[in-house]
Amino acid sequence: MATPTTGPSAPPASTFTLPTSRDSETNPNKTTEIRSTFSNWDTSLHLPSWVPNNEEAAIGDRLEECTGLLEGCGADIDSIVSVLKKPLRPLWISQKTLIWLNEVPECDSWDFTPLILISASAPNGTTQQRTTSVFSWQYIAGAGDDEESWARGLSPKLFWDHVFDLIDSGPDLCKSKVAEIVERERVYHAHRGEFSPQVTVKPQKLLASNGYASHKEIQLTDFKTSMNSMSVRSPSAGGSLSWVGSTNVAVTSTLHVAAVSGHVDCVLNCDSKLSSFSFLPADMYMHLPIVTSKFDRFSIINNLPAAISFAKSKLTQGNKLLICCENGEDISICVCLAILTYLFDKQGSFDGGKYFMHSTITKLEMRQRLVLICKFAVNARPSRGNLKQVFAFLSKERDSVMSLESGCQQTEEIL
């Protein structure tokens, strides 16, 4: 499988092929060879001391099953194993973890490669922390992946590009620093004619000097910041386009559509906000205002029929299809998964749905196709709720086809 394409270019020549039964037959031999090569590794189960014995036993009983699922999903395990010099072992760090830095041995002396897993969850669920500043924060366990509700428009890349500036700003200035960074990025793209919506933050309760909560609108637009940022080059500039093998299907964020317009023929816009792409004829563009499952549990499943119909008509004509959403990482990936499952066979060839109509789509095959998409769209991170909608839609479509075929067969028998 070729390396994922991240720049605006033509679709790569590599194929989009699911693992076959022959692959699954050879995998055990390959796995045995790998395991014998690293037979001196400590591959026993290691868990934190606070995990109960019964839970540890339950996890141990499922290890082989989980290993089989990993091997069967089509993930490129061999390339990872080839660079590992020591076995992987997770280490958990929580709010109760105590680490004496002068007692931590050098990593080279460890007999394993650590995977540091950090849990910010409070041991007792909800925790409210009041600081000496005007701000206070409340942590809710499980809310870490709901970044749209607390990240204030800050993307992971922007965070890491400015991580030290954010830390140095301290609790009092952190929010204003985030607003400055986000607005500078927005203005950079806006002045280049790229889609760059204004980021807004809902009014939130702040502690007034008298101790009572008051409402204050957090403004992300600052005139001085906007003017100064006009000459600042964004580190994330340059469109990002991920072609999924040789399928003529690509994914990206709405922000980058204009930058890659010369490399696609039609656009399926799954962003909740309407965008105007003047470089496209009206019949080569479709907007489906899809929102994530956190806001509407049926948004994707209700829009997939139109998405697949549009994709089928354009791909039949040999057009290059671009699927975009707000971040190019979640909704567009799920829509792409539905299209590739519905309209492409196991070899990654477009057949208009023939393979889908005469096969049963299982969760394993869905997982295999998603893994293949992620090999090309390396920033993909589809949410579980959205993926469940895709599987529900495909299952319903397949059941409808089977019912229709059964009805036709019964009619023929009667006649």
**Given this model, what pLDDT does residue 386 score?**
93
Nearest Cα to Cα of residue 166 among 174, 154, 157, 155: 174
Q: What is the pTM of this model?
A: 0.66
Q: Is the pLDDT of residue 233 over 70?
A: no
**Encoded tokens for 45:** 């189960």
Q: Is the pLDDT of residue 45 over 70?
A: yes
**Given this model, what pLDDT does residue 14 score?**
58
Stretch among 96-100, 201-205, 310-314 having the lowest mean pLDDT: 201-205
Average pLDDT (258-283) is 86
Average pLDDT (86-100) is 83
Q: What is the pLDDT of residues 391-405, one digit of tens each?
A: 999 998 877 765 655
Q: Is the pLDDT of residue 187 over 80?
A: yes
Residue 223 pLDDT grade (very low, low, confident, very high; cuts 50, 70, 90): very low
Q: Is the pLDDT of residue 313 over 80?
A: yes
φ/ψ (deg, to 5) at 154: -80, 120
Structural domains in the chain? 21-34+45-118 (no CATH), 127-231 (no CATH), 244-412 (3.90.190.10)
Q: What is the pLDDT of residues 372-397, one digit of tens each?
A: 899 899 889 999 999 999 999 999 88
Rounded to whole angstroms, the Cα distance separating 226 from 220 reads 10
Q: Is the pLDDT of residue 121 over 70?
A: no
Burial class (CB in 10 A: 0-12, 13-18, 19+), 65: exposed
Residue 251 pLDDT grade (very low, low, confident, very high; cuts 50, 70, 90): very high
Rounded to whole angstroms, the Cα distance separating 397 from 78 reads 36
332: β partners: none
**Given this model, what pLDDT does residue 150 score?**
75
Secondary element (H or E) of residue 410: helix 384-414
